[in-house]
Amino acid sequence: MVLKLLLYRKGMLRISVTGESYDRFLNLCANHGIALWNLEYHGNAYEMDISVQGFRMLRPLVKKSRTRVRIIRRQGLPFFLYRCRKKKMLFAGLLCGILLLYFMSCFLWRKIDERKLLWRIDIEGNQQITRGQICRYLETVHIENGTRISVIDCKELAAMLRKQFDAFTWVSVKQEGTRLLIQVKESTDPEANVKNNEKKETEGINSANLPTDLIADKNGVITSMITRKGVPMVSVGDTVKKGDLLVKGELEILDDSGEVSGYQYCASDADIFLKTSYEYREKIRLKRKEKHYSGKEKQKIGLRVGKWQMYLPGAGKKMQTFDTVTEMHPLCIFQNFYLPVSFEKQQFFEYTYETVTLTEEEASAMAEKDLYDFLNKIQEKGVQIFENNVKIEFDTNYCIAKGSVILIEKAGKSVERITTE
């Protein structure tokens, strides 16, 4: 294709060669690097294609081979321009038309881009927060299929998602054609969401350089304490309850006589560890229902246009209990330019519930595994396990793991101190 365009730009000729020695003519052309192609024999002459540059080199070769060359057809851009040399107004009109079409198309595409609608929302990286939860929130802020792309502020939407879902530690929103791509990273610890909120509050207080106190956020016995800023109100070995003051962000200023002449306030800072007790209790039913797939599968294919959808008949008898997996394939005419039309395939997998009775060994193994996973999860947070007093018992219907777990963990929550001056 590239070679054809290059030849068209430079021009080429279709020639007819007659004479006594065709072979010598062809050999001389090959020796002088003259390219010939589309060689055909017609009656007493050979016809072939040659470039304009090659044709200009033929005169001495024609004399040596005692042949005659006749031009049959001229083609290419140089010959087209030569034939149109007397039609200057036609060329001027054609050029103006091309320029007008170009500028109109640019204006039209700009208008289309301004009125471009959102037809696909892709979400990547979410596990704890489902796609349905995210899409329902997007609908509350008026972002859904059919929304104009121009009204979506990607940076603002990313900040709104981070604020709405505490599990998100990072959010990126990109607009690609008629598609909105939302990429998220979630906290690996679902329980850290509450701590993240507390951390944000603490960072907000500290960033404002406000005086703060440290209070206990749990009950326990203090095992170690290092105070960097503030006045400690408790010491190692003391028993504290949730809400008790641990470190005060108020420093007394004494005069020469040793009396308090004023106060200086600071943001309290300390590392305080408590010995706490956590009551663990886990019940495992000995007789339980488990999902069992029968192996029967059905599917149906449909078409969705906007919010309207239609499925082809033929799914057969409806199953009683089943799981559904839906695949959507939006219609894309350009890269990242999707139409509000998609083909859907729904697959149905039938299952039934079967009653399974666990032996004491099986139930005990499951309870031990749950306890092991729980303790591992705690240790991953940096909490030290001091003592494990969990025991496994059985009654008629349950395997019960219960007891206390003694932990050593960091404590302390920053709260704003109200100053009185």
pLDDT tens readout for residues 47-64: 899 988 888 888 888 888
Judged by DSSP in three states, 315 sits in: coil
Residues paired with 394 in a beta bridge: 399
Exposed/middle/buried for residue 213 (C-beta within 10 Å: 0-12, 13-18, 19+): buried
Q: What's the whole-number mean pLDDT along residues 362-388?
A: 89
In contact, 146 and 340? CB cutoff 8 Å: yes
In contact, 265 and 212? CB cutoff 8 Å: no
In contact, 153 and 213? CB cutoff 8 Å: no
Domains of the chain as residue ranges with CATH: 2-83 (3.30.70.260), 120-186 (3.10.20.310), 209-277+412-416 (no CATH), 288-357 (no CATH)
Cβ neighbour number for residue 215 with a 10 Å cutoff: 19
In contact, 392 and 364? CB cutoff 8 Å: yes
Rg (CA), the chain: 41
Q: What is the predicted pLDDT for the residue at 356?
A: 87
Q: What is the predicted pLDDT for the residue at 207?
A: 45
Q: Does pLDDT of 126 surpass 50?
A: yes
What's the pLDDT tens digit per position in 168-226? Answer: 888 999 888 778 899 998 876 545 454 554 444 444 444 445 788 899 999 999 999 99
Q: Can you list the positions of beta strands (E) in 199-336? A: 212-215, 220-229, 231-232, 239-240, 245-248, 250-254, 260-265, 269-285, 287-305, 308-311, 322-334
Q: Give whichever of 253-262, 277-286, 290-299, 338-347 has the largest mean pLDDT.
A: 277-286
Q: What is the predicted pLDDT for the residue at 194?
A: 45
Write down the mean pLDDT value for the chain: 81
In contact, 229 and 167? CB cutoff 8 Å: no
Amino acid at 116: K
In contact, 189 and 378? CB cutoff 8 Å: no
Torsion angle defined by CA atoms of residues 258, 261, 262 and 263, in that order, rounded to the nearest 10 degrees: 0
Of 342, 312, 333, 365, the closest CA to residue 112 belongs to 333
Q: Does pLDDT of 106 surpass 60?
A: no
Q: What is the predicted pLDDT for the residue at 203?
A: 47
The band of 240, judged by pLDDT with boundaries at 50, 70 and 90, is very high
Q: 417-420: long-range contacts at Cβ-Cβ below 8 A with a sequence spacing of 24 or more?
A: 417/210, 417/211, 417/212, 417/213, 417/248, 417/249, 417/250, 417/265, 419/211, 419/250, 419/263, 419/265
What's the pLDDT tens digit per position in 289-341? Answer: 888 888 888 888 888 776 677 877 765 567 888 888 888 777 776 656 666 67
Least confident of 115-119, 206-210, 230-234, 335-339: 206-210
Q: What's the whole-number mean pLDDT along residues 74-93?
A: 74
pLDDT, greater one: 329 or 362? 362
Least confident of 225-239, 288-302, 335-349, 403-417: 335-349
d(CA 251, CA 303): 72
pLDDT, greater one: 256 or 17? 17
Q: What is the predicted pLDDT for the residue at 205?
A: 44
Q: Does pLDDT of 86 surpass 70?
A: no
Q: 361-365: long-range contacts at Cβ-Cβ below 8 A with a sequence spacing of 24 or more?
A: 363/284, 363/286, 363/394, 363/399, 364/392, 364/399
pLDDT, greater one: 157 or 42? 157
User: What's the Cα-to-Cα distance from 138 to each of 135, 177, 178, 273, rounded to whole Å?
Assistant: 5, 19, 16, 42
In contact, 384 and 333? CB cutoff 8 Å: no
Q: Does pLDDT of 110 surpass 80?
A: no
Q: Does pLDDT of 36 surpass 60?
A: yes
pTM for the whole thing? 0.45
